[in-house]
Amino acid sequence: MSDEVKVRRVAPKGASGDSVAPRVAKPRARAAKTPLPQMALDLFADVAADLTCGVDEVGRGPLAGPVVTAAVILDPSRPIKGLADSKKLTAQRREALYEEIVERALAYCIAEASVAEIDSLNILHATMLAMQRAVMGLSRVPTLALIDGNRCPALPMRAEAVVQGDDKVPAISAASILAKVTRDRQLVALHEAFPQYGFDEHVGYGTPRHLEALRLHGPSPHHRQSFAPVREAFEVFGALTVSRMARSS
């Protein structure tokens, strides 16, 4: 049997023969950490705060104009009184709340899907597209999106549908107000170009006056061809250009 080799660690001896204490390594100075860019800090802050955005649309039912959506992240430290479903507020109150939301919200974004996109995709898918644009356009990254209604668009964060959310969730109410005021302003401007339809009165909905105008003047380029009353008018009048509409008014 071969002999065992035992290894012992022996402290080195000094000149006098005494043992010398082992050297203790000096701690190295740590290099200063490079500060994170502001965008990364904002993202970490968003995750820590568990930011929630409210999302709503206005304009699914009208015969003309885009569908407009908004996404809003409210600031808990700057509450806004009187938020409610935009349909239950007067135009004057909506306008006042619009300014407060724009000033006090942590982030907001207003987006839309055009008449051409509505006719191409159908109104449901165009609305989902506009909601995606609103959420993705926010300057802060939400961790949860609360969507008014019973359907959610495809989003990279968690999303939940809230039936009648514009009357239950303040952030959705705020989104409803931004979308409503924005779309109403658009239709008032459209009325200046096409006064024969009365867009300033019905903002594109199929009222008796609007339907009568379609029968008399045919559709404008801002009408949705995929909606039955407009499609029927197109079959009678054909697609009208802006110049032809100007001559017929």
Binding residue positions: 56-57, 148
Residues in the annotated binding site for a divalent metal cation? 56-57, 148
Alpha carbon 62 to its chain centroid, in Å, reads 21
- d(CA 232, CA 15) in angstroms, rounded, equals 111
Measured over all CA atoms, what is the biggest interatomic distance in the chain, rounded to whole angstroms? 118
* b/e map 172-200, b = 16+ CB within 10 Å: bbbbbbbbbbbbbebbeebbeebeebbbe
Edge-first strand listing for the sheet containing 67-73 = 107-113, 67-73, 52-58, 144-148, 158-162
Name the nearest CA neighbour of 139 among 208, 221, 71, 54. 71
